[in-house]
């Protein structure tokens, strides 16, 4: 008997009990749908975390000044300036795992165009900043090292600032704005970055050369950097060695003996990223495990119904054997029935799972990530469930004695 | 066909069952020859061994000892799969309770043995239609068992038994579930099939059904008690050519 015929016989047998077949399949449908939806959701959450960290910058490290300790009260990192401009140069030049380093000096300031004004965040930095933060310039240009050296009054605007000062349609490049009443020329506009993972608006900022910042916006000590140093490691893997190299360079330059604490801090943001990713992966695994349990339960449902079906159809089995069905024909018939139930359930489950994942992703505002491998694995797994749980009833049917089966009431 | 070879040749068949500690002897040395073209009725009270004998003749069961040849082929030592093939090609069954597949058309019910014989779909349909026409159900091809009377259902079952052109048709109480008029119609059909050359063995406990057969074998306690030819047959049943009978 050909596989097609076996399949047609199975379909017909299942169609005779539509309600029962549908209910049996439901277990598998729910199981597979849950697996698909949970994994898609988990992947979405993972991507969300990844995106948040990528938007901060690539393989980012933050170097801050040390803390003051006055009368037992610690002032927090940065309260005592300890990072010098020399430290910055040393980090860029001596640490092999570092791609680039830039100072970041920040303050709030009032910005004005001809029509509007807006209180925003002004960042003084150098030309390397844009690469470190992975921040494209969509219109105009960024500033150069010579702008930084000569302290030219040029500004690169974030999208929010452009919107507030010029509206959404106007091209501000070449226009003049005032920051704390000092005129700056707009030379570029940054790409939109959206919210940081803390919920701050990344685009509500104006970037200017740090020499200009110190001369015109907010001065400071000549020797020390009144802010932090942002560092980009050459790769995600190199972030830890960059961290160690920076620590070694700074300890050496600050002449700290082995017993002294660091007077600075180096935070490796990729550590946070991977920790968060591990968290979401654990969640995904947990959800997928729960979903797999429901698939297993679905399989038991199939076995149960197949056993009932074999008992109910004992006479049919006896008749088929009497007219020439071999044990393997009977085995194949019931196995294909179980397989059909589970496979149809699996396919419906995939569709339902995708729809659910889409709805959930929309509700959470996450990207929906469909992993083709998970779909294939779910369908194969549901087929395996069908075979594993179908083999026992099918074997039981194939071992029936035709005489007793025909006599069965 | 195989005129020289007996369709059924049983030699000293024993069948023993183990029921717990007790050994039951269902058949105690049955020797029997049935020639091609015979119409034989097997009678006997329940427990006489007639069902066991039918199961062995129908290749559903194997004898404990003894030799059984069906149309010249020794089948007493075949395995399950080989027995299934023999049943499929050489034996047609008709049961008391029809045993048709529910919610399945007459044609598809009749096709069933051909399905397991590996016959192609188009040929199956052609042969199933022909078999149904032969039993007078040419106009009921797509009817389901639930849409047919008992007599019609039994005709479908007979068509199913004929469709693989077997050497032998075995009918186990074929009229047990039918009223007397329908029973007579069914027996007339068996006689007609027999006249066209089909070898048929009936199991029945009703004398007026057995009366349709030219030869009546009576079983008792696992042995053949009597084996006699009928001289006066109802209707037009034929007596096969002269036979040697071993009681």
Domains and CATH numbers, chain B: 8-97+112-119+164-229 (3.40.50.300)
| Token representation of residue A366 | 């996450």
What pLDDT score was predicted for residue A221?
64
pLDDT digits (tens, 9 = 90+) for B204-220: 988 999 999 999 999 99
Task: Please give the residue that has the higher pLDDT: either B107 or B230.
Answer: B107
Q: Are residues A127 and A253 in the same domain?
A: yes
Taking the mean position of all CA atoms in its chain, how far away is CA B35?
14
Place of tokens 């889409």: A358
Q: Are residues A251 and A314 in the same domain?
A: no
Q: How many domains does chain A have?
A: 2
| Other CB atoms within 10 Å distance of the CB of residue A142 | 19
Cβ contact A322–B103 (<8 Å): no
Q: Are residues A293 and A214 in the same domain?
A: no
Mean pLDDT check: name the lowest of A359-368, B47-56, B122-131: A359-368
Cβ contact A326–B61 (<8 Å): no
Residue A248 has pLDDT above 60, yes or no: yes
| Residues from chain B contacting residue A5 (CB–CB below 8 Å) | 115
B65 neighbors B14 (Cβ within 8 angstroms): yes
| Residues from chain B contacting residue A325 (CB–CB below 8 Å) | 84, 116
Q: Are residues A280 and A258 in the same domain?
A: no
**Boundaries of domain holding A343:** 3-52+275-407
Of the pLDDT bands very low, low, confident and very high (cuts 50, 70, 90), residue B240 is: very low
Comparing CB atoms, the residue among B55, B88, B115 nearest residue A403 is B55
What pLDDT score was predicted for residue A69?
54
- Average pLDDT, integer, range A101-107: 91
Integer Cα distance of A166 and A115 in angstroms: 8
A18-56 and A327-364 helices, crossing angle to 10°: 40
- What are the percentages of helix, strand and coil residues in chain A, rounded to 5? 55, 20, 25
Q: Are residues A290 and A322 in the same domain?
A: yes
Residue A96 has pLDDT above 80, yes or no: yes
Residue among A206, A210, A222, A227 nearest A151 (CA): A210
A38 neighbors A352 (Cβ within 8 angstroms): no
- Measured in residues, chain B has a length of 247
Cβ contact B87–A327 (<8 Å): no
pLDDT digits (tens, 9 = 90+) for A288-318: 788 788 888 888 999 999 999 999 999 999 9
In a domain, A72, yes or no: no
What pLDDT score was predicted for residue A78?
57
Three-class SS state of A109: strand
Integer Cα distance of A343 and A25 in angstroms: 9
Task: Please give the residue that has the higher pLDDT: either B15 or A362.
Answer: B15
Integer Cα distance of B78 and B174 in angstroms: 28
Residue that terminates a domain, selected from A213, A233, A262:
A262
Enumerate chain A positions whose Cβ falls within 8 A of a Cβ in B. 1, 5, 12, 16, 315-316, 318-329, 402-403, 406
A85-94 and A239-253 helices, crossing angle to 10°: 140
pLDDT digits (tens, 9 = 90+) for A169-193: 888 898 899 998 999 999 999 998 8
Q: Are residues A203 and A298 in the same domain?
A: no
Percent of chain B's residues with pLDDT above 70:
92
Report the run of H or E that residue A309 belongs to, with start and end: helix A269-312
A239 neighbors A233 (Cβ within 8 angstroms): yes
Nearest chain A alpha carbon to B113: A323
Q: Are residues A8 and A97 in the same domain?
A: no
pLDDT digits (tens, 9 = 90+) for A317-372: 999 999 999 999 999 999 999 999 999 999 999 999 999 988 888 888 777 777 78
Report the run of H or E that residue A164 belongs to, with start and end: helix A159-166
Nearest chain A alpha carbon to B99: A319
Which one of B26, B99, B167 makes the best mutation probe of the A interface by having the most chain A beta carbons within 10 Å?
B99
What pLDDT score was predicted for residue B236?
47
Integer Cα distance of A129 and A131 in angstroms: 6
Nearest chain B alpha carbon to A409: B97
Q: What mean pLDDT value characterizes chain A? A: 86
Report the run of H or E that residue A217 belongs to, with start and end: none
Q: Are residues A173 and A35 in the same domain?
A: no
In a domain, A64, yes or no: no
pLDDT digits (tens, 9 = 90+) for A216-235: 888 766 778 888 899 988 88
| Other CB atoms within 10 Å distance of the CB of residue B161 | 28
Cβ contact A403–B113 (<8 Å): no
Q: Are residues A105 and A212 in the same domain?
A: yes
Residue A72 has pLDDT above 70, yes or no: no
In a domain, A58, yes or no: no
Which one of A2, A322, A401 makes the best mutation probe of the B interface by having the most chain B beta carbons within 10 Å?
A322
Radius of gyration for chain A, computed over Cα atoms and rounded to the nearest angstrom: 33
Percent of chain A's residues with pLDDT above 90:
33
Residue that terminates a domain, selected from A203, A234, A262:
A262
HEC per residue, chain B: CCCCCCCEEEEEEEEEEEECCEEEEEEEEEEEEECCCCEEEEECCCCCCHHHHHHHHCCCCCCCEEEEEECCEECCCCCHHHHHHHHHHHEEEECCCCCCCCCCCHHHHHHHHHHHHCCCHHHHHHHHHHHHHHCCCCCCCCCCHHHCCHHHHHHHHHHHHHCCCCCEEEEECCCCCCCHHHHHHHHHHHHHHHHCCCEEEEECCCHHHHCCCCEEEEEECCEEEEEEECCCCCCCCCCCCCCCCCC
In a domain, A71, yes or no: no
Q: What mean pLDDT value characterizes chain B? A: 89
What pLDDT score was predicted for residue B217?
95
B46 Cα to chain A: minimum distance (Å): 15
| Token representation of residue A68 | 């003051």
B105 neighbors B143 (Cβ within 8 angstroms): yes
| Token representation of residue A323 | 């007219």
Integer Cα distance of A263 and A280 in angstroms: 34
What pLDDT score was predicted for residue B29?
92
What pLDDT score was predicted for residue B108?
94
Which is it for the CA torsion B50, B54, B57, B59, positive or negative? negative
Biggest CA–CA distance in chain B, Å, is 54
In a domain, A205, yes or no: yes
DSSP assignment of A15-74, as one string?
HHTHHHHHHHHHHHHHHHHHHHHHHHHHHHHHHHHHHHHHHH-TTEEEEEEB--EETTEE
Report the run of H or E that residue A331 belongs to, with start and end: helix A327-364
Q: Are residues A189 and A221 in the same domain?
A: yes
- Average pLDDT, integer, range A49-57: 71
Of the pLDDT bands very low, low, confident and very high (cuts 50, 70, 90), residue B2 is: very low
In a domain, A60, yes or no: no
Integer Cα distance of B133 and B139 in angstroms: 8
B203 neighbors B173 (Cβ within 8 angstroms): yes
What pLDDT score was predicted for residue A135?
87
Nearest chain B alpha carbon to A325: B116
In a domain, A312, yes or no: yes
Of the pLDDT bands very low, low, confident and very high (cuts 50, 70, 90), residue B238 is: very low
Residue B234 has pLDDT above 70, yes or no: no
B146's CB contacts (< 8 A; 6+ apart) are B102, B103
Nearest chain B alpha carbon to A314: B99
- Measured in residues, chain A has a length of 409
A82's CB contacts (< 8 A; 6+ apart) are A65, A66, A224, A254, A263, A264
Report the run of H or E that residue A225 belongs to, with start and end: none
Q: Are residues A98 and A234 in the same domain?
A: yes
Residue A213 has pLDDT above 70, yes or no: yes
B228 beta partners:
B216
What 8-state DSSP symbol labels residue A228?
Answer: E
In a domain, A95, yes or no: yes
| Residues from chain A contacting residue B93 (CB–CB below 8 Å) | 322-323
- Average pLDDT, integer, range A20-35: 90
Report the run of H or E that residue A289 belongs to, with start and end: helix A269-312
pLDDT digits (tens, 9 = 90+) for B82-120: 999 999 999 999 999 999 998 899 999 999 999 999 999
CA dihedral B84, B89, B90, B96 (to 10 degrees): 70
Comparing CB atoms, the residue among A16, A323, A327 nearest residue B112 is A323
Cβ contact A406–B95 (<8 Å): yes
What pLDDT score was predicted for residue A239?
84
Of the pLDDT bands very low, low, confident and very high (cuts 50, 70, 90), residue A373 is: confident
- Cβ burial, residue A149 (10 Å; 0-12/13-18/19+): exposed
What pLDDT score was predicted for residue B225?
93
What pLDDT score was predicted for residue B201?
96
Q: Are residues A206 and A245 in the same domain?
A: yes
| Other CB atoms within 10 Å distance of the CB of residue B104 | 17
Residue that terminates a domain, selected from A211, A235, A262:
A262
């Amino acid at each position: 008997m050909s596989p097609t015929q076996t399949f047609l016989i199975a379909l017909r047998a299942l169609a005779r009990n539509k309600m029962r077949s549908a209910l049996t399949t439901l277990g598998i449908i729910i199981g597979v749908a849950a697996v698909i939806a949970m994994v898609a959701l988990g992947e979405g959450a993972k991507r969300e975390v990844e995106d948040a960290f990528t938007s901060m910058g690539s393989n980012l490290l933050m170097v801050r000044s040390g803390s003051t300790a006055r009368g037992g009260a610690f002032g927090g990192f940065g309260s005592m300036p300890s990072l010098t401009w020399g430290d910055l140069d040393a980090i860029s030049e001596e640490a092999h795992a570092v791609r680039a380093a830039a100072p970041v000096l920040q303050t709030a300031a009032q910005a004005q165009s001809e029509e509007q004004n807006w209180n925003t965040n002004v960042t003084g930095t150098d030309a390397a900043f844009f690469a470190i933060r992975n921040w494209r310039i969509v219109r105009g240009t960024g500033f150069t090292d010579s702008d930084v050296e000569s302290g030219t009054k040029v500004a690169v605007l974030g999208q929010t600032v452009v919107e507030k000062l010029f509206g959404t349609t106007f091209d501000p490049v070449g226009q003049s704005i005032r920051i704390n009443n000092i005129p700056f020329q707009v030379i570029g506009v940054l790409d939109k970055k959206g919210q940081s993972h803390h919920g701050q608006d990344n685009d509500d900022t104006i970037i200017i050369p740090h020499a200009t910042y110190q001369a015109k916006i907010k001065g400071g000590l000549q020797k020390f950097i009144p802010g932090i140093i942002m560092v980009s490691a050459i790769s995600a893997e190199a972030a830890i060695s960059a961290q160690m190299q920076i620590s070694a360079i700074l300890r050496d330059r600050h002449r700290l003996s082995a017993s002294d604490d660091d007077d600075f801090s180096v935070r490796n943001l990729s550590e946070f990223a991977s920790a968060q990713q591990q968290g979401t992966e654990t969640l995904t695994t947990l959800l997928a495990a729960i979903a797999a349990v429901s698939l297993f339960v679905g399989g038991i449902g199939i076995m149960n119904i197949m056993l009932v079906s074999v008992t109910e159809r004992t006479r049919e089995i006896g008749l088929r054997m009497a007219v020439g069905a071999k044990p393997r024909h009977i085995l194949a018939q019931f196995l294909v029935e179980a397989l059909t139930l589970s496979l149809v359930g699996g396919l419906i489950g995939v569709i339902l799972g995708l729809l659910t994942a889409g709805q959930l992703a929309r509700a959470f505002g996450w990207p929906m990530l469909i992993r083709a491998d998970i779909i294939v694995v779910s369908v194969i797994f549901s087929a395996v469930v069908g075979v594993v749980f179908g083999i026992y009833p099918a074997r039981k049917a194939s071992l029936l004695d035709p005489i007793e089966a025909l006599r069965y009431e | 066909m195989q005129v020289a070879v007996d369709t059924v040749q049983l030699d000293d068949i024993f069948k023993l069952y183990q029921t717990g500690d007790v050994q039951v002897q269902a058949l105690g040395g049955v020797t029997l020859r049935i020639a091609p073209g015979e119409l034989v009725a097997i009678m006997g009270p329940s427990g006489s061994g007639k069902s066991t004998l039918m199961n062995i003749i129908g290749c559903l069961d194997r004898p404990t000892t003894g030799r059984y040849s069906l149309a010249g082929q020794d089948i007493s030592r075949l395995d399950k799969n080989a027995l299934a093939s023999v049943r499929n090609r050489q034996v047609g069954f008709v049961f008391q309770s029809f045993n048709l597949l529910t919610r399945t058309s007459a044609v598809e019910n009749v096709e069933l043995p051909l399905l397991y014989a590996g016959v192609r779909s188009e040929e199956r349909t052609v042969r199933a239609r022909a078999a149904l026409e032969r039993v007078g159900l040419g106009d009921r091809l797509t009817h389901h068992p639930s849409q047919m009377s008992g007599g019609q259902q039994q005709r479908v079952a007979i068509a199913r038994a004929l469709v693989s052109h077997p050497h032998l048709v075995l009918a186990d109480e074929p009229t047990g579930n039918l009223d007397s008029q329908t029973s007579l119609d069914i027996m007339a059909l068996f006689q007609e099939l027999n006249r066209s050359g089909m070898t048929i063995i009936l199991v029945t406990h009703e004398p007026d059904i057995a009366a349709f057969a030219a030869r009546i074998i009576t079983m008792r306690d696992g042995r053949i008690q009597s084996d006699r030819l009928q001289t006066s047959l109802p209707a037009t049943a034929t007596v096969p050519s002269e036979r040697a009978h071993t009681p």
